[in-house]
Structure 1
Amino acid sequence: MQSHSEFQGPPPGCPAHNGGERLPMYGPEFAAAPDAFYQRLREHGPSAPVELAPGVEAELVTDYTAALHILQNPDTFARDSRRWRALNEGQVPLDSPVLPMMMYRPNSMFSDGAEHLRLRQAVTESLGRLDMHRVSRHVDRVAAYLIDQFSVRGKADLITDYSQLLPLLVFNDLFGCPAELGDQLILAISNLFDGIDAERANEAMAASLFELVALKRTSPGDDVTSWLMQHQSQLSDEEMVHQLALLIGAGTEPVQNIIANALLLLLSDEQYGGGQHGAGVLVEDAINEVLWNSPPIANYATHYPVHDVELSGAKLAAGTPVLISFAAANTDPSLSASRQTVSKRAHLAWGAGPHACPAKDPALLISIRAIEKLLNVLPDIELGVPARTLTWRPGPFHRALNALPARFTPVREKRTSAPDRTNGHTAGDTPTQNREGKPRKGSWWSGFLTWWKV
């Protein structure tokens, strides 16, 4: 393989020829076969021109070494998207579906320098106060509650019935959300994930978070929201809302995809038991495989060169969006010879450098406990359809299944409410349900709090 310094320009047949043609990273074609897409881009060198959505152009880094270089050099590659030249010049459609993930927000992800350090410390030090034993116990309770909702049916969609909801319910607890406010937040985030009236859902999420911040200003608790508020950085209400929104996004969508993608491996791949969940099968191994080869956020970490720069022979103009392909970098052919000797944690799924994911430890714990609980409660669970028929959600940023149907022996005695641990009596009724017998989206959190009195 050529070294980075040997790349003189795009070879014949690559997308950079023919007038600078860019490969589109949207639509079902990319979602169905991203590896083939990355292989084509590698022909161009360490990075290549792509189109994230109609009219939104960017550079995608597919080389592991080049990706690490960018992630670890914030002085040259900034994260503040107010540097985005094409957006500033009016060349980007303002109704583009990728803008919500790329436009500037006053949070630690989109800041640099001293401001980044201030916001980052507030987030990391607040998360550092989490009691992992408490998190673990709460994941077990949430998992038991969700499984209880579908176990009597003998079948489930492990996306909508489990992996999508579990991190939302867990984070509601970590943020200290009361019942009604937590229901509003889950409904808004679920609608954002599902693409249902995104503008209104985004407004509803912001309104819920402002309400949560106002509540914690007057009634602080033992939760991340209160700890952020008490941090010496003295975050304003607006800054509080933006840090909380960032934590929700970073703690729900990626965790959902880790759980689902690892369950797919465990239920289909013979290397991981192919549905036979023996003692020798480690959930951590399946998750590690996902983080290397099918990372939940496949392409993101948008950087902007602060001046024109060369990247291993490729010229990147100042203000150009430069995205890291975690999926392509992790599967860089130059790593194949050394994968057996590098650390299991050398993948880039959590990023690297000053902007590396601050919630890695709780995200891993939530994912592991959620999968272990499901497999322990439903030991004969298996895929409900052939793995080859599963489809993936279109979009340039994530690697996420549309659905993950599963079947298992029904649990005949469904527990509709949790035992009150003080007197052995039941602790309330089930949440409001829809025609399928599932709790409505707007009642998941209050339903859980009723089901299990903490």
Structure 2
Amino acid sequence: MDAHTPAPVPPPGCPAHGSGARVPLYGPEFAADPQAYYSYLRHYGPAAPVELAPGVEATLVTDYTAALQLLQDSGTFRKDARRWRAFHEGKVPADSPVVPLLAYRPNCMFADGAEHLRLRQAVTDSLARVDVRRLSRSTEQISTYLIDQFAARGSVDLLGDYAKQLPLFVFNELFGCPADIGDRVLFGISGMFDGVNAEKAVEVMFGAVGELVALKRSRPGDDVTSWLMQHQAALSDEEMVHHLALLLGAGAEPLRNLIGNTLHRLLTDDRYAKEGGLIDEALDDTLWDNPPMANYAPHYPAHDVDFAGHRLEAGELVLVSFAAANSGPALSATRQSGSNRAHLAWSAGPHACPSKEPARQITVTAVENLLNRLPDIELAIPEDSLTWRSGPFHRALGALPARFTPVRTASGAVPPVTAVPTAPAPSAPAARKPERTGLWSQFLNWLR
């Protein structure tokens, strides 16, 4: 910032006062108006000092050009989180809520070089085998099932009753989860991201995935788990478990937010309602303005380096703000000229999202089926009454209440789904009974 430029005023609720203060990316103030924070951060230049959670410091890249440079320079910027100096020096609280999404795991997201190529190829090749017609058919069946649970009520929380559950169901189908394992996967992922009994949720999730790996070793099927296992990369059981946890868990939260944020846009912007048939456009606009993962792509400089006007030290945590880069002035002309998919919502470079096409297809099918089944659905509360979930990484609504004319299904009103209230550890003998009435089991019963 130029010495003659007046110091910018921090956004409301931001305690970042004084030279060198880090800007917090957590709390309700940031969630309510992140663009005000990004505007303030741009006064630091292409990158800015931030705090992801109490005691967790990082540098956030907010400029589109600088973000692309970082994402494509795998020689200077590495993904292996074992390089994270502050964490290994004990400067990051071990129980920090952001550690589970930043700490090292043996999967392709945290790998570099030849190891990354081996692991990444296994993932991309396996996902490429997904039949688009099968995916569309499965998504529509699951969408119909979920809509049947609330169609007769005339009201729904489109987040909790629809957008949150649909990706988990679709992934259970794609990855070949039988009923009891699928119920625990749903419980585990939901608990991990909602922060409800998170330690138990992680235990249940990894236990269920471990059982899925053992099952597919003995009885492979026509599913992503089996294809990943059969790939020439020859993933070990440990690598299988961590890649399945990555694909199931890390895929569910962004897809949930993408469906929810796209529905939010369609229900709050009159332009789509007036023109009609603009689901793809609403989806692209959402990826520009409200990307489901707003700030992520953790990297670590391999050595001290001057970058974007900042001196970064080796092992320093550097993140990319996809949301800030998308909304920066540098991209306004590009977006207006018709290049509607030049955004960074899917990241870029060698670690770009490997499943963006399936994610688009699932989102469009889910939104389209909902609007076809409930054509007069509308927001049930004023838009300014909606609240956004706190957190540095995602852009996600807490709820999306809607109302519509009640619709009876072919078999009449369907009772609401009853979620499993608790889930004991996978090894506990008592685990089987509640799991048979879990969410995935109920769907399989409905399908049959």
Q: Quick check: TM above 0.5?
A: yes
Alignment pair present for 1:99 and 2:77: no
Aligned amino acid, residue 340 of structure 2: K
Establish whether residue 167 from structure 1 lines up as the match of residue 167 from structure 2.
yes
| AA in 1 matched with 2:417 | K
Alignment of 1:412-423 (within 5 A): 412-413=408-409, 415=411
User: Separation in 1 of the partners of 2:338 and 2:304?
Assistant: 33
Residues in 2 aligned to 1:285 and 1:390: alpha-carbon distance in whole angstroms: 23
- Asked whether the 8 Å contact 1:10–1:43 carries over to 2, the reply is no
Matched positions, count: 426
The code of the aligned residue for 2:236 comes to S
Give secondary structure in 2 for the equivalent of 1:18. coil
How many angstroms apart in 1 are the aligned matches of 2:335 and 2:214?
Answer: 49
Query: How far does residue 304 in structure 1 lie from its aligned partner after superposition?
Result: 0.5
1:404 to 378, 400, 405: 400
Contact 2:148–2:409 at 8 Å: present in 1 too?
A: no
1:373 alignment partner AA: N
Distance 1:412 1:137 in 2: 22
Q: C-alpha deviations, 1:327-364, integer Å up to 9, x for none? A: 00001112213322262221000010000000111110
Q: Over residues 208-250 of structure 1, what are the superposed CA-to-partner deviations in whole Å (9 max), with x where a residue is unaligned? A: 0000000000000000000000001111111001111111133
Percent identity between the aligned chains?
A: 61
Aligned: 1:132 with 2:132: yes
**Letter aligned with residue 7 of structure 2:** G
Question: Match of 2:61, as an amino acid?
Answer: V
8 A contact 2:335–2:342 mirrored in 1:
no
- In structure 2, runs of 5+ residues without a counterpart are 11-15, 421-434
Letter in 1 for 2:227: W
Could you tell me which residue of structure 1 aligns to residue 322 of structure 2?
326
Q: 1:307 to 1:12 in 2, by over 3 A?
A: farther
Q: Distance in 1 between matches of 2:37 and 2:93?
A: 25
Distance 1:72 1:407 in 2: 45
2:310 corresponds to 1:310: no
d(CA) in 1 for partners of 2:158, 2:442 = 19
The residue identity in structure 2 corresponding to 1:222 is D
Q: CA deviation digits over 1:391-421, x for unaligned, max 9?
A: 000000000000000000111346379xxxx
- Secondary structure of 1:172's counterpart equals helix
Measure the CA separation in 1 of the matches of 2:81 and 2:313: 14
Instruction: Give the distance between the partners of 2:409 and 2:120, measured in 1 at CA.
Output: 47
- Residues 244 and 291 from structure 1, CA distance in 2 versus in 1: closer, same or farther, beyond 3 angstroms? same
User: What is the alpha-carbon root mean square deviation over aligned residues?
Assistant: 1.8
Instruction: Map Cα deviations across residues 249-304 of structure 1 (whole Å, 9 max, x no partner).
Output: 3321111111111111111101211xx6x6x3310000000000100000000010
Deviation of 1:18 (Å): 3.0
Q: Distance in 1 between matches of 2:389 and 2:305?
A: 34
User: Which 5+ residue runs of structure 1 have no aligned equivalent?
Assistant: 1-6, 418-429
Q: Secondary structure at the match of 2:18?
A: helix
**2:352 corresponds to:** 356
What SS is found at the alignment partner of 1:153? coil
Q: What is the TM-score normalised by the length of structure 1? A: 0.91
Aligned residue for 1:281?
277
Contact 1:304 1:321 in 2 (8 A): yes
Which of 418, 436, 442 in structure 2 is aligned with 1:447? 442
Q: What are the residue-to-residue correspondences of 1:335-374 with 2, within 5 Å?
A: 335-341=331-337, 343-374=339-370
Q: Distance in 1 between matches of 2:219 and 2:136?
A: 25
SS in 2 for 1:320: coil
Q: How much does 1:12 deviate?
A: 5.2
Q: TM-score, normalised by structure 2?
A: 0.92
2:292 — aligned with what? 296
Work out the CA distance in 2 between the residues paired with 1:257 and 1:447: 24
3-state SS in 2 of match to 1:140: helix
